[in-house]
Chain A
Amino acid sequence: MKAFLTIAVSVMLAVAISPLLSAQWPDYPTANVPLLPNGQPNMEGPTPRTPDGKPDLSGIWALGRGGGGGGRGQRGQGRGDAGAGAARGAPATPANTPAPAQARGAAPAPTPPAANAGPPVASFFDLGSGIQGGLPYTPWAAELRRQRMADNMKDNPDAHCLPIGLTQLHLHPQPRKIIQTPKLIVMLYEAQGGVRQFFMDGRPLPNNDPQPWWYGYSIAHWEQDDLVVETTGFRDDVWLDVNGSPLTTTGKMTERMRRPNYGTLQTDITIEDPKSYTKPFTVRVNHRLMLNTDLIEFICQENEKSSQFFEPASK
């Protein structure tokens, strides 16, 4: 009874607070949301499909259950995982915590199918937090990461308003949006205004690109219901996570993205980079659909005043 009352009071308070959360976003509800008999969104409903029968990955996606968004190890299950921008969208339901405030238009977070199967879940600070023994660094990469951490990660490109490593973007608390067409898929990331294009017209990866890119060059194809995205052409100074796990120009990232139900996006990321890692490794990121919201502009250079106070001072 005591536990029931505790939960009841929590829910009442959460409901009381929720109008605050939804107070200032235009009321544009997501279309074609499958509903439960009680009228709530059915986040575990069937995977939507495009007219050609492919899974439709379109939507606004927040870090989801087991998304590993936060700091130490898997603590991203807590606040860091609670759904960046979940206001007016589907709120987070951290796996081992009480349900958070139910924002207006919200729905329970879906349960990813086979959540306990598959690759280890990555975290924002440490991509290898779910891998026993951590990532398989080469000695060069291990020393570089050690130095980056000793410097309080102050040279993470993000800290200087530069583009974030792709895996940081996948794990960032700020949401991302997928726009899907048959021959081109675009991912927009609220964090640092990142933009990626997945070319699906059959072109190969460039093998003589003279200009490495922050986000690399991506081609994609379908393998049954998995979208397989291959990316190469990275710069030599990518930070895969906040702790500074490197990726270099010899690196390749392969993402297998799938939408196993209406509310879940699951991405398995394989990194190959012989300069940085002794063998390839694969980690998983789960995202959950956000309803009735959109990306918010984020122009980092607008008023960046933090880096002048960094310790140790930037060189």
Chain B
Amino acid sequence: MTDRRPGRSRRHAGKLAWAVLLVVSLLAPLPIMGLAADGDKARFTVLEASTRLVSEVYLLDARIAFDFSPEAIEALDNGVPLTVELQIEVLETSDLLWDGTVATLSQRDSIEYRALADLYLVTNLNTGELSSHTNLGAALAVLGQVVNFPMLDRRLLRVGSSYSARLRARLDVESLPLPLRPMAYLSSRWGLTSDWHEWPLTP
């Protein structure tokens, strides 16, 4: 039987309103948080990536094209250091279940402009290694050249299983100065992230 009592329908309407409100409030921040991920994702591109097994260690060689947006270059030229993060993941692939993560690595490099010397400094934040360049292109070329990066000890992989590795590069918005961050969160011009580049890894 249909209950047509007004009190019950009002209570149902009230519960529905609360549910809608809750969902809307939970979804409301998503556009803000997701804006950085939208926009031109292809500004950073992993051109190639491969691994070599040398002395039981997988070494990563990769080439990445960093195409900074004009806003990012303007910030760089105004003395704002930019941090680029290379995210590397080794996955154990499975046909039945989702892929398991074997290892996660991160390589962070910062690029900054030195006004006195009119140079671009590229610093490997993991090793502290410095390199200076007279122009931005040369600095980005060095930044995008990954050679002999020790990725994984082979003994961590089981024989018989299939593995894959993937790599992506992104501009670390969290490392920007705080006043820039809201704009970086809201503007797609700061959402500089490459797609994942994945390749098989044979133990």
Query: Are A and B a genuine interacting pair, yes or no?
Result: no
